[in-house]
Amino acid sequence: MSNHLNFYIDGKWVAPVVAATLDVIDPSTEEAYTKISVGSRADVDRAVAAARAAFSRFSQTTKDERLALLRKVHEVYVRRYEDVAQAISQEMGAPITWAREAQAGAGQGHLESTIKALEDYQFSELRGSTMVVREPIGVCALITPWNWPLNQIVCKVAPALAAGCTVVLKPSEIAPISGIVFAEIMDEAGVPKGVFNLINGTGPDVGQVMAEHPGVDMVSFTGSTRAGILVAKAAADTVKRVAQELGGKSANIILPDADFAHAVREGVNACFGNSGQSCDAPTRMLVPATRHDEALAVARHAAEAHRTGDPRSPETQLGPVVSQLQYDKIQRLIEAGISEGAMLVTGGPGRPEGLNRGYYIRPTVFGHVTPDMTIAREEIFGPVLSVMSYEDEDDAVRIANDTVYGLAAYVQSRNIDNARRVAARMRAGSVYLNYPDWDTFAPFGGYKQSGNGREYADWAIHDFLEIKGIVGYGA
C-alpha cells in the first residue's frame, strides 16, 4: 500500500488534517505519475507536539542505544536501496545508474560516516574543575531540497538522532517520494514514536511554519539563498538556531602547471554531474589567458561526449532538470550569456536533438566569459559551464573570490604545494584539490551567502548540540 498521501507522525502513517494534494511530475515526460498530500499548520503542530513529547526520553538515551538504532536504520536502508534509487530516478529525472551509484549511495555513505563519527564522539570533558557537556539541542525542523534528496535527508537526520534530538522533516515537494521511502525505512527500523516525523508540503505552508514554530529549537535548511533568508527571518522571533547550506557559484582554477587536458575534461564532467544540479558544482572554469582557446577545444569535446536522454537507460549520462521552472530559468540564463557577448562553444537554447519532451537541457559551454556577465554571477543549476581567463595567480584568486557565494572552490595543479597555497586563499567552505574522491568525513558548508554551520559526520553532530558548563564539577 502506497504512503504517498500520508504523513509519518508519532510513529504512524496518518492522513493530513485538511485534505489537499499535489501532482508529482516525472521530468522526463512532463507528466504526473502520482500525488502527495500537502500539509498545513495543523499538521506541523501535530508533528512538533509528537517530537517534543519524544524528546524528553530520547535525549536521555545512551550513545550505545543511539548507535544501535542507526545501525538498524543502515541495515534496512541497504535492503531498500533499489527502492530509494528508483524513487529518485523518477522524481528528479536522475539517470538510473547515477541514482544507484551516487544518489542512493550518498544516503548510505552518510549513515556509515555518522555511525563511525558517533562511535568516536565524546559528549563530555573535564576542564580543570569544570565539566563541559554537549547535550541535544531539542526538536529540529529539517527542510531538504530536491537535487540530492537522500544525501540531504540523511546528512541531517542521522546526526540529529546521533546527538539525541528529535526531528520533523519536510522534503522538497518537487521530489518527495524518496523521502517517503526513507520514512518507511525509519519505521521498519523501529525508530521510537515521535523521534522522526515527516510532513510533505510547500515552503510557505509547511517550511515557513516549521521555521517560526515556538516548539522548534533548531532549523536546518538546504536550498536557495533566497529561501534561506526567508527561513532565517521566520526563525528570528524565537531566537532558534539556524543552520543553512545555500547556493554556490564555485570557481575551478586550473593553474598553468596542471595536466591541462585532463583538468579541463574532468572540470566539464564535474560541472555537468547530476545534470548540473549541485550547489557546489564547479561552474566557473578559470584558465590562463594564453590557453583559453585550447581549453575551449577540450571542453567542447568533453561536453559533446555526454549522452543525454531517458533516465531509465543505463547508457544515459545526463537526464532532464527537475521541473518546468528550472528549465525556463536555465533557458533564460543561456540566452543572457549569448546576448551579453559570451562565446557559445557548444549547446545553447532548446532541447537536445531528438528529444521533443521532458525538461532536457543541451550540455552547454560558454567561452570568453567576463566576471560581470550574468552567467558568471548567477547560480544556473544546469549543465552550463562558463570558461574565464586569468592573467596570473593573483588575478585567478581575485576572480574566484569575486562572488557573494562561498560554498566550494577547486584547484588543479601538478604541484601539490602550489595547489595548497591557492587553496589557503579561497573564501570557501570546501576546497577540492585535483578532483579528489568524495569525503563524507570532511566538513561541508559555506562562507558568505552560501550559509552557515557544517554538515557531515562529527561536524554535523556538533551542530545539533548545545554546550553546558558545569562549574565546580571536579571540586
Active-site residues, by number, are 245, 279
3-state secondary structure of 91: helix
Q: For residue 285, what is its C-alpha cell?
A: 572554469
255: nearest Cα among 432, 419, 424: 419
3-state secondary structure of 410: strand
Question: Strands, E, within 191-340: which ranges?
Answer: 196-198, 218-222, 241-245, 251-254, 284-288
Please check whether residue 201 is in contact with residue 179, taking contact to mean a CB–CB distance below 8 angstroms. no
Tally of CB atoms within 10 A around 402: 15
DSSP 44-77: HHHHHHHHHHHHHHHTT--HHHHHHHHHHHHHHH
Torsion of CA 76, 80, 81, 86, to 10 degrees: -160
Sheet strands side by side (includes 430-433): 343-346, 364-367, 384-390, 284-288, 251-254, 408-412, 430-433
Residue reference for cell 585567478: 396
DSSP character at residue 346? E
Number of Cα atoms under 13 Å in the Cβ half of residue 341: 6
C-alpha 419/C-alpha 254 separation (Å) is 10
Residue reference for cell 573570490: 401
